[in-house]
Structure 1
Amino acid sequence: MIKIKEKLETAKNAAPEKFFTLKRRDSIIAQYPERYLKRFRDSVITRTKDTLVFNNIDTVVIKPFVPRPVYKPSQYVFTERDGHVTISLPRALEKTYTIKFFEDDNTDLFEIKKVSKTQLILDKSNFHHAGWFRFELYEDGNLKEKHRFFIAKDF
């Protein structure tokens, strides 16, 4: 009888279980008890791809991972390992291609009026310094691609 009374008293003194609201942007996804939220502890501490952030005392917001844009080289104008700029135009014999090269701040460098070969290699010394350069590739007078490339510094 005494054991039953002790269990009843501890049950009366126990705090009710705390629930957290899980949101993504403005939408409520679910409500989880506190013990379930402990499973996401590593996400909160280490800020993994989908990090949980406490918005209020009882509201948790999911911040989805948004990757930074990664530079993807052009398939037509790119730099080789040795630093030379390669222009690869498979249809250069059929169509008229023009390429304009610019500094990173869009000041003109030089222009190749008619590319007559499918594969063309430009020496990196044509670009006077290392860094980012921009180009515009025109096919029969129409802009086909506007992109950039990087020439690394020689040590």
Structure 2
Amino acid sequence: MSYPITQPVKALIPGIVLLLLAMGVQASNLAAKNALCIRDTARLYRHTGIIRHERNGDIVIALPAGAEGRYRVRFFDDKEALLFEIRQIRDPLLIIEKYNFGHAGRFLYELYRDNGLVERASFQIGS
């Protein structure tokens, strides 16, 4: 004696899953051909943890122990105009107070080691 299917959705789920998997493989090939950006820009500059933003608004630059190389950092405003630059960081710990930025807003920075860009990110300073 056969029982009627009381919940037809349960019977259709394996077929739907297989269909979606098959379409997903084809869609991933199409997405790669029609992509606006081929390389992954999210991983272009890694956050190294050398520069961090504290809750009180100060910027802390902590060079790793035994760091070799010449480090420098450049700070920009939200329109990417250069605010100031620290050409050589000599101390392993440097704290830049938020008052050095002149106003609240979003700021960008670029960290260089031996004239090679290591990190580029932004931070927000509140009023």
Length-normalised TM-score, structure 1:
0.51
C-alpha separation between the residues in 2 aligned to 1:135 and 1:98? 10
Tell me by how many angstroms 1:24 deviates.
Answer: 3.3
Q: How many Å separate the matches in 2 of 1:73 and 1:141?
A: 17
| % identical equivalent positions | 34
Which structure's residues are more often helix, by fraction?
2
Q: Please, which runs of 5 or more residues in structure 2 have no aligned partner?
A: 1-7, 25-41
Relative contact order (C-alpha < 8 Å, sep 6+): which is higher?
2
State the secondary structure of the residue aligned to 2:99: helix
**1:129 and 2:103 aligned:** yes
Distance 1:140 1:91, change over 3 A: farther
Could you say which structure has the larger radius of gyration? Answer: 1
2:87 is matched with which residue?
Answer: 113
Cα 1:105–1:79 change in 2 (3 A) is same
Deviation sequence 1:84-105 (CA, Å, 0-9, x none): 1111112576321010111122
Q: How many residues align?
A: 96
- Which residue number corresponds to residue 119 of structure 2? 145
Q: After TM superposition, list the pairs within 5 Å mapping 1:6-155 onto structure 2.
A: 22=16, 23-24=19-20, 27=23, 75-91=49-65, 94-153=68-127
TM-score by length of 2: 0.61
Higher strand share: 1
What is the one-letter code of the residue matched to 1:82? N
Q: Is the 8 A contact 1:97 1:137 kept in 2?
A: yes
CA RMSD of aligned residues (A): 3.0
What is the CA–CA distance in structure 2 between the aligned matches of 1:76 and 1:96, rounded to whole Å? 14
Large movers: runs of 4+ above 4 Å? 17-21
Deviations 1:50-96 (A, max 9, x none): xxxxxxxxxxxxxxxxxxx9xx9751112112111111112576321
Aligned to 2:72, what secondary structure does the other structure show?
strand
